[in-house]
Structure formats: structure tokens, C-alpha cells
Structure 1
Amino acid sequence: MKRSSAGTRRPGRCAALLATASVVLALAAPVAEAAGTGGPGAGAADTAGRPSSPDACAAARSSLTASLDTLVTRHGIPGVAAELTDPRCGRWDTARGVADRETGRPMRAEDRFRIGSVTKTFTATVVLQLVAEGRIALDAPVERYLPGLIRGGDGHGYDGRTITVRQLLQHTSGLPDYTAALVQLPVEQWRFRHAEPRELIATALKIPPPEKKWHYSTTNYLLAGLIVEKVTGHGVESEVTRRILRPLGLGDTYWPGDSTRIRGSHSHSYFSATDEPDAPLADGTEWNMTFGGAGGALVSTPADVNRFFRALFGGKLLPARQLAEMKRTVPADPGRLWPGARYGLGLIASPLECGGWWWGHGGTVPGGHRALGAVGPGGRSIALALTAVPSTEQAEADYRATAETAFCAPTGDHQLKETS
């Protein structure tokens, strides 16, 4: 990958990718806050997206395009795609760079890609639907649904009787992330291998507990997926498909299962196999994502991700009470998410420099795909797809600036051309 001279090279290899794959970037309206937690509230400024001139929509589109071009030309990301929706400007999508470095095929906005931890928001939504139906209690212990599964762990004292469903979704369970063990293995030992959730959970329980109260851990979402299966009699994949994908018409979003390939038109993904400066990019498109499961396995498109988050925040998937619970946040580790970010139940809230907050989630998969789906002030939403992870501090900063551009560029009455 082309390295930026403006920043120090970020950690490479699958170890670094898995760290961010479990963690992610990640996302509008005022939030219902847990007492005493601070953060986004009813008084949050809503300055982004206010009209400024008849040509403001075109200017906002141009600004976002320039930000995407920076990722490709300055930082060597092979391909990027985005869909932006604004109540004043309609829906617009774009793609820059290439989807396949070998053939040179241009990136397309409709290309499928792996969305990684954005999957967590889908899983959390189903859990909260079951809460609304009275089939799951947020503050019930995990033991109620999965008796005996969380116990001990090589003397570490993990106990499902003291961990609640809410804590799983909020990453305050105190459970470690099983990916910390995977990164110690050569990637080829697990890249194409089927992984069972209980196997990965057992691996996590052998790891010492995290030092901080809030600790991002995909282990939590594997457990949430098993709880969904326990109370419904169906796998979380079936429930997400039945409750979200089909009703919303998300026809390009699916669970890949054991297939290492992505169906239909898709972008390839790329990663640095070593930590050496200017290491060549390897193609990481083919991967068995059962290791991500309910916390990271979905394949989608920017359009489908965008539609999902707009439906979620538009009240089409959850009753108001459960959506408010989803948006009750706790402080997150500033070293793991964006500065000032907070975490709800499968949602991240991140402050904007122009005022207000964006809400949603992001994800990174070991093979290199990165995703972001977010809703911000004024009803604007964005979905981003990258075919490689930014590899320097400056590249990461410019990636984050792309989200700021999407939400903070003012818009006017001029309508963007709707995509078909």
C-alpha cells in the first residue's frame, strides 16, 4: 500500500486488523441518556445540514468526493464507495478507485463488501425486538438463557450469573475478546476454517479479564446471538434475515456462512501481510467469516447499510422505548473508538466538530474491508466502503475527516440527482 509521508505507519498484519475488526469505527437525533452518564443529550446542537445556498447540495457532494479521492490518491486505498442521503438533497452515491487491482475494474457503489462489526447493530436490533416482545429481559443474567456456558475460565472467575444481556450489548460484561487469541496464530490456520460460536467463546474464557470496565469484545455478540437462538429456536442469521433484511428489502445483504467468496458484483479487499514499510498488499477477499458470526459476518452494500440505519432511526424496526434503550450510552475507551465516542447497545455515538452527534457503527475485517454506517443531525446519513484499512495515522485521520465532511458540509434547497 502506498504510505503517507505525513503520518507514522499504523500497525499492520492481521493482528492489527483483528484489533480494529473487533473494534471499529463506528454511530440522530437526541439520545435518551442513562442517568449521570453525560454525552449526547436532548440539547445537542443540530447545526449540520442547515441550508446555505441553492448550490450547497452540489458543493457538499463535491466535498465528499474530494475526501474520498484523498483516501485513494494520497493513501493508496484501492477503492472506496459511499452513499449519502439528505432530506434536502435526496440520495446520491459515488465510487472511486478500483474494485479489483488485478483486472483494474473500477469500483462501483453497488458492489457488495464485508461490513464486519456493523453486523453488531443488526444483532442488537433483533435482541431489542425480542425485548419488546417480552422474550428477553435486558437486565436478566446471561445464565437465564445460556445456563452454565460462562463459568470460571482457567481461574479467571467469569460467571454468567453476574453478567446481564445489557452488558453484553454495551461491552461492559468484563469478558475478553477471543480475537486476542486468534492473532497469535498464523492467519492461514483459521482464515478458511469453520468456527463455532461456543468454540470461540471457550477460547475467550481462557484469556485474562480486561483491565477496563468498558472493553470492546466480539465475544459479547456471539453470546447475544446464542441468546437469540435460545429464545426463538432459530439461529441469529435466520432471525436477522426474517426480521430486518426481508422487511426492508435489503436484497444485497446476506450471511455468507462457510462460503469464503462474496456473491455477485463485489469489491476485493486488501491487507498488508507484514509490518514492513511499503509491504505489498495481499488480496484478502476470500475469508471464512464464521469467526465473526453475530458480531461481524454480514455482507452488504453501501445502499443497504444506509437504508438499514435510516429505518432503525426512523422507528421502523424498534418501538420508541427500545430505541431509547439502544441509545443510552456509557463512556467508551478513547483509545479504541473515535475521540469522545460513547457506546450504547450496538451503537456508537460520536461528537461532530460542527455540533451534534453521529450514530451508527463501523467495522473492519481482517482481509481489509472497512465499513461505516451512520445517521447524523438533520436526518443526513452516510454509508462508506473501503477496500483496505488506512495504514498511517494521517490516513486514519483523513478517513475520519470523510465522515465529518459528510455530516458537516452545509446543504441547501438544490436537489441531488436521486440514484435509481
Structure 2
Amino acid sequence: MTKLQEINFDGIIGPSHNYAGLSLGNIASSNNAGDASYPREAALQGIAKMRHNIDLGLVQGFFMPLDRPNMAWLGSLGTKLTEAEPHIRAAAYSASSMWAANAATISPAPDSADGRCHMTVANLQTMPHRSHEWPGTLAQLRLAFGDQDHFAVHQPIPSPFGDEGAANHMRLCGSHGEAGVEIFIYGKSGGRFPARQHIEASKAVARKHGLQDDRVIFAQQSDKAIAAGAFHNDVVAVANEQVLFAHEDAFENREEFYAEVRSKFPEAEIITVPADKVSLADAITSYLFNAQLVTLPEDSGMALILPTEAKETEAVWSYLQELVEGNGAIRKLCPVDVRQSMANGGGPACLRLRVVADPNAVDQRFMATPAKLDAMAEIVEQNWPKTIMPEQLANANLLENVQKARKKLLQVCTLTELES
């Protein structure tokens, strides 16, 4: 019998990583717009996080950066890199595919009608700089998960229904390999920031994946959370196996939602962080909930893989210390340094896509080992730009360097099919 395991696939941070402030509603992205970025440091931080997870005994995979700048997208807008307006040029260069949580929504095989793991690529249509990611993501997912006996990879939900992938999706189950209840979180438009996940898209994904109605929940993210800068649900809530860990202000109709959770999954352990202990502002600044909540091997309980910003935020760290001392499901706190990603609005959970599958069914070129990570780190050290200012995006030398750097990474990972 095949062994289904949770595999975290992290996006390698691409050589064009820069701070252009393109993401409306993402407070960190807006606050750091125009600053110098450090692509080399960013990618090495991401690789170090993957190495840390392997050391914890977790199964780890990775995705390649997409081809940037996206010349075809610029052409579809009737312009060229040298002629494009600065914000259009920055959107073409965007390295935001690094946040693999937005790559797709995943329904493991035990949940689906045909017993295969289903994946629907996110259209990301709300933000221009992300809206052109899906063709490259689709090609990569179909390569990594090409075994059609185990996987079904679907094209995105059509516009105008916005879908942002796994960042607005959670799953509760007894263990990863058992059938679970899938939770789709949507927003409603209004207020100063757009709601990026539409309920129509969430329902379409559930239908495409063949999910049973009595094992699916659709819940609204709170307007308050969106207005505060929680542009995705994973900024205010995270789930793993039987545990749902969420801020008090995460959901619009919290008690009704919790009642439905308990009705459909009675084993649920709901941990609600009170606003009087951790404010919504502190939760968003620290990315407390944008942690990887993972099950450790050998019955060692669960761990939160947190950004170091959580440890540096007094109220957050004080609450977390109390939480783990309570001897509940969450037993271990693991701060990791992903500051370059954080400065553009993405924590540890943003950088990874969770896939429950038999690791042997995955194209092994996408599975991480310490030796592979060492080889990738060497390519990054030698080829990723040390720093990028937004005005450098018009520089022909940067264009050449970014494209050569990505090509060398594809070569060392023997994934040259993805060169264009």
C-alpha cells in the first residue's frame, strides 16, 4: 500500500526578486516599495529553510523560478521591456511565483471522487504582476506531477472569478493520509483593499476536485482582517491535521463557522488566539499565522515554523511560550530567517505548497535532498544578483544576468524543459 505523506514544495526565490510595491493590500510590500532588495540573500534564506525542514524529518520538494521578465506578457500588452511604463516593467520582472502557496489548490487523493490528488492552478487575476504566472506554473506542475494514475492537474478557474490557491484553503483530518474536511476561505469586495478569493472560484475548485458536499466548508474571511492587511487567509489562520489555529478576528461569522467545523469534523481542536493577547496588527506584522504548522515524525507532536519576526514581537512570543508550555498539540517553535521574503509580504507558509502524496509518484527532480540544496546554493551564490533597486529593471545587463542565472539553476537541477 502506498504511503501518503505531506510534502512541502518551496518556491526557489528567483534572481529578479525586487521591491516594487506591486501588491495592493499587502502592508509589507507597500511599506518597502522602492527599497533595495537582495535576491542572493533571499534565495539562500529560502534554501536554508528547506534544509532546516529536512533536518526536522520533513519531506521537502521545490519549484523553479519562472522565466522573468515575461516578454510574452509584455508583447500581449503591445510593449517591450525598454518601452514599458515602470509599473508594467516591474510586473513583468516580478519574482512572486516564489510564494508557492499561491500556485494551486490541492485536494489529496483520499478526499476526491476518483482517488487521485487534484490540483487546480490559481489564476491570481486580482493582481497584474501575478496574473501572468499561471501558464508557467501549470507547465511546472504538470511536469512534477505528471503521473496521471496519482495526479490530476487542472487549468485555472476562468476570470473574473479570483482564485489565489492554497493560501485561502485549509484541511482538517485525522492524519494526512486519511480523508479530511476541506475549508475554502473567501472574501467579499469592499473597503480599502480588494478581496482576492471569490466564493465562485472556491466552489468551482471543489467541484473540479470531486469533493463531497458534507466534507467541504466555505467560510468568509473577516472584512476587518482584510482591511488590516490580511490579504490571504494564511495571514490569520493555519490548519494541520486535527488542529485549526486562528486569530479571533480571522473569520466574519466565527461562531457559525466553528459550529460547522465541529459538525463536519468532531475531532477538531480549535485554538483561537484572543485579540487582547495578540492584536490583529501584531499578528499581521509578525506573520504569526503564516507559519508552517507541521506534524513532526515519531509522534513528537506539532511544530510551528515561524519567521524570526514572531520571536521579535513581544506579545506574539509571550503568547506562543504559553501555548507550548500548555502541552497541547503544538509542542515546538522553530523560528527561521526569511526576512527578504517577509519584506515583500511572504512568510514561511507563503513559500510552500503542501501536497499530500506518495513521494515516489512525484518527478524526483523536484524532490529536495541536502546534496541538491547544496548544489542550488552554489549556483545562487555565484549567479544571483547581490542587490536590485527598482530603477535597475530597465538595465539591459540585469536582464541578461537574471536570465543566465535561472538557466544555470535549471541545468544543475536537470529541468531544462522549463527554460521557456
Question: Could you tell me the TM-score, scaled by structure 1's length?
Answer: 0.25
Q: Which has the higher contact order (CA 8 A, sep 6+)?
A: 1
